[in-house]
Structure 1
Amino acid sequence: MKLLAWLKSEPVLVAAWALALISAFFVPPDAAYADYLDTRTLALLFCLMAVMAALQGAGLFHRAGEWLLRRTATSRQLEACLIFLCFFASMLVTNDVALITFVPFALEALGMAGLTQRAIPVVTMQTIAANLGSMATPIGNPQNLYLYSRYHLSAGTFFTVTLPYVALSALLLLLFVLAQKPRPIQAPAFSTSLSYGRARFCVQAALFALCLCAVARVLNVWIAVAAVLAGMLLADRRALLRVDYALLFTFAGFFVFIGNLGRVEAFSDFLRGMLAGREVPVSIAASQALSNVPAALLLSGFTEDAISLVIGTNLGGLGTLIASMASLISFKRISLALPEARGRYLGYFTLANLAFLAALCALWWILR
């Protein structure tokens, strides 16, 4: 029963392996299956998730947020803090971790400040901020890490592509904040302390630096894996239990499915023809139904236009609730904290996402 409940909570994982199994009927398992898995991407994901789980469990991000919030004096400053915390944090700790950490934090802070009625717009903007801020770096979200590794992009190329969209996103978020009427508030008071000693924190910081070196291809990824495993076993074994292994297995399932599709000539030719010159709109559309991580995994098997996939799958995270799986984190938190507001949240979320998507698509049209 526990296994069934877990599978129900991981629909993307189930779908990935269902597709992999179906595709195996058309391409029976053979030695070529071993070449499907992008082990470097899987290893990098594991390392980053383990280190982020340790730092999050230690209360580091929550503590940093508290430090900023203690310096707010108006409702506008509070909202700006909560939204841009997600925007900038997601660049380094991923959009998922930013939302898992700062959405509950925002709901608590807004409640303490007597601003619960602002929860829907603030959490919506936090979600948009995390999804768009994460576009800035190769480690900001899983699809960036995969595409950066899969196509051997340079850091310079990646940042040149993403910077205009990140800058416009920041401007739009700032305009949203400035449009709010400032009201004096009492800064929320928290009492969270770091659960780590300085030595353990230094270990995790060093491991994060090693992860960045591995992403930049300065360090062999398997050395990073060995270091992270050793460091976690010594400093924080529980963090290894908090790694999102379902995401790793989801990637593996899609790798098998994509590998098999590539060997079915008729389907491969169809997808390549559909994508040719239309990578950005197709990846945006695919993300609305599949979510942007699966869309990146699927479409990368049939085009060499890495730049367009980076743009399309990141912009594609806007739109429907499932366009980015990270958005479900916010929806679940709102549903728990304000169950009566789920419908209003979904409506506001969809309209706000479509507005941001339209603005960023207009920028793509101008720059292309």
Structure 2
Amino acid sequence: MPAAPLLPSDARTLAVVAIFGVVYLGMLLGGLPRLRLDRTGVALLGAIAIVAVGELSLEQAAASVHLPTILLLFSFMVISAQMRLGGFYAALTRRIVALPLAPPMLLGVVIVAAGALSAVFSNDIVCLAMAPVLVHACLGRRLDPVPFLLALACASNIGSAATLIGNPQNMLIGEVLALDFTAFLRDTAWPVAASLGLLWVMLHRSARPVPRSLPAPGDDEAPPFDRWQTAKGLIVVAALVLVFLATDWPRDVAALLGAGVLLLSQRFHSSQVMGLIDWELLVLFIGLFVVNHALAHTGVTAQTVAWLQAQGLHLGEPGPLFGVTLLLSNLVSNVPAVMLLLPVVEGQSPHAAGLTLALVSTLAGNLLIVGSIANIIVVDAARRQGVHIDWWRHARTGVPVTLATLAIAAVWLSF
């Protein structure tokens, strides 16, 4: 027999609303004032509080977590860990920068490579692996690394919008709305390609050798290239993409099988792979699933949507959805924003709503440094190599790139 709730119904509803507000304040601020908590810690404590006040039982809280999304995200973290340990990203970055090309053309190759890799391996992982090597290689060629690093961050965000495995929010959108992989790629390929081309147009003049003194290149600390381990990872990824394009096999199951194959290794201990998993991101997802489900469980979410509709704001329609996604993605970050909006659009055309959510939430990440984890990773990697990119330098590129690429997406979505 289930235990009686600690609070009466009205008090529980107020408590859930308060917990929800505190959690999303934490998403906005990156933590809570005076407490050593980041977004993941805030989300986890929010989920614990939801269970503690009795709005959801432990079983209900567990059931609110969308397991296919968690499994898909985990599986691609394993695959990306394999590629990092095999030295694939570092070796590719070194080869790109060593190409006998003029700096503007070299910048174009970096943009294409970052965009293509992020569509498959996740933008955060691509930036984490490539940024230190890119700084080191640019300094070695006496090139100003800042335009190349900004290109890496922006291109990885843009490229990740192309597929349902390119970033965490796209994985969530694809799994919850049950979107078709091929149809999604077909409809995102053109705006993503156009956005990458526009990024090169906006940055290519800044890619040049510099006469001023640059920091001496340090050690990029990248793992050595392992041809067999890299080949094994690429074979698994190619097989998975083929499965996604040509079959209806559940993506989470196929990806989990691929991750399992890669864990069968004589070269890398499973603890090495597990050490590269972003467990904090997985916990963030789990905590937000519980908190958002609890708010919906109280009926407050449905009441809020109904009130907004009565005021003439229909979030399921393309225009309002575009604007609200852009606003929330820059307030609370793209993953929490998508989690908030998915229940609102589930009753609408899933493909159209999914395209809007994916393109807008991802492209909005280029606006400011804090707009996406990929930006933060690149800036931190540059700082460790003695290259400083402050918020204003990033914004001089990020703001116009975001506005221009969102304009491309808006035109594309209007057809």
| TM bracket, shorter-chain basis | 0.7 to 0.9
Identity %: 20
The aligned residue for residue 207 of structure 1 is 236
The aligned residue for residue 36 of structure 1 is 64
Instruction: Assess, with a 3 A threshold, how the Cα gap between structure 1 residues 175 and 10 changes in structure 2: closer, same or farther.
Output: farther
Q: Could you tell me which of 265, 269, 279 is aligned with 1:234?
A: 265
Instruction: Assess, with a 3 A threshold, how the Cα gap between structure 1 residues 54 and 9 changes in structure 2: closer, same or farther.
Output: farther
Deviates more, 1:57-66 or 1:145-154: 57-66
Amino acid at match of 1:110: C
Matches within 5 A, 1:104-143: 104-115=132-143, 118-143=144-169
The aligned residue for residue 311 of structure 1 is 359
Amino acid at match of 1:301: P
The offset of 1:191, in angstroms, is 12
The aligned residue for residue 335 of structure 1 is 383
CA displacement, residues 205-250 of structure 1 (integer Å, 9 cap, x when unaligned):
3433454466566445446525523541434221122111111111
SS at match of 1:27: coil
Instruction: Assess, with a 3 A threshold, how the Cα gap between structure 1 residues 352 and 231 changes in structure 2: closer, same or farther.
Output: closer
Matches within 5 A, 1:280-291: 280-291=322-333
Root mean square deviation of aligned Cα: 3.0
Matches within 5 A, 1:187-226: 194-196=224-226, 198=228, 200-209=229-238, 211-212=240-241, 218-220=248-250, 221-222=252-253, 224-226=255-257
Instruction: Assess, with a 3 A threshold, how the Cα gap between structure 1 residues 72 and 101 changes in structure 2: closer, same or farther.
Output: farther
Kindly tell me the number of residue pairs found equivalent between the two proteins.
353
Report the TM-score when normalising by structure 2.
0.76
The offset of 1:330, in angstroms, is 1.1
CA displacement, residues 30-80 of structure 1 (integer Å, 9 cap, x when unaligned):
543333111111111111111111111111122122233332242323333
Amino acid at match of 2:397: A
1:19 aligns with 2:19: no
The offset of 1:318, in angstroms, is 2.3
Partner Cα separation in structure 2 for residue 14 and residue 347 of structure 1? 29
The aligned residue for residue 297 of structure 1 is 339
The aligned residue for residue 371 of structure 2 is 323
Partner Cα separation in structure 1 for residue 370 and residue 208 of structure 2? 33
Instruction: Assess, with a 3 A threshold, how the Cα gap between structure 1 residues 86 and 32 changes in structure 2: closer, same or farther.
Output: same
Instruction: Assess, with a 3 A threshold, how the Cα gap between structure 1 residues 219 and 183 changes in structure 2: closer, same or farther.
Output: same
Partner Cα separation in structure 2 for residue 10 and residue 225 of structure 1? 31
1:349 aligns with 2:391: no
Amino acid at match of 1:106: L
Amino acid at match of 2:405: L
The offset of 1:252, in angstroms, is 0.9
SS at match of 2:369: coil
Matches within 5 A, 1:55-66: 55-66=83-94
The aligned residue for residue 171 of structure 2 is 145
Q: Is the 8 A contact 1:47 1:211 kept in 2?
A: no
Partner Cα separation in structure 2 for residue 181 and residue 100 of structure 1? 22
Instruction: Assess, with a 3 A threshold, how the Cα gap between structure 1 residues 202 and 80 changes in structure 2: closer, same or farther.
Output: closer
Q: Could you tell me which of 350, 361, 364 is aligned with 2:406?
A: 361
Q: Is the 8 A contact 1:135 1:141 kept in 2?
A: yes
Instruction: Assess, with a 3 A threshold, how the Cα gap between structure 1 residues 129 and 197 changes in structure 2: closer, same or farther.
Output: closer
Structure 2, unaligned runs of 5 or more: 1-31, 212-216, 347-352
Q: Is the 8 A contact 1:121 1:348 kept in 2?
A: no
Structure 1, unaligned runs of 5 or more: 1-6
Select the structure of larger CA radius of gyration. 2
Instruction: Assess, with a 3 A threshold, how the Cα gap between structure 1 residues 362 and 335 changes in structure 2: closer, same or farther.
Output: same
Partner Cα separation in structure 1 for residue 190 and residue 258 of structure 2? 36
Q: Is the 8 A contact 2:136 2:385 kept in 1?
A: no
Q: Is the 8 A contact 1:23 1:261 kept in 2?
A: no
Q: Is the 8 A contact 1:279 1:312 kept in 2?
A: no
Matches within 5 A, 1:80-91: 80-91=108-119
Q: Is the 8 A contact 2:107 2:151 kept in 1?
A: no
The offset of 1:295, in angstroms, is 1.4
The offset of 1:325, in angstroms, is 1.8
Amino acid at match of 1:92: V
Instruction: Assess, with a 3 A threshold, how the Cα gap between structure 1 residues 73 and 197 changes in structure 2: closer, same or farther.
Output: closer
The offset of 1:10, in angstroms, is 7.2
Q: Is the 8 A contact 2:240 2:254 kept in 1?
A: no
Q: Is the 8 A contact 2:148 2:207 kept in 1?
A: no
The offset of 1:87, in angstroms, is 2.0
The aligned residue for residue 3 of structure 1 is none
Partner Cα separation in structure 2 for residue 42 and residue 210 of structure 1? 21
The offset of 1:271, in angstroms, is 4.4
The offset of 1:253, in angstroms, is 0.9
The aligned residue for residue 266 of structure 1 is 300
Report the TM-score when normalising by structure 1.
0.84
SS at match of 2:56: coil
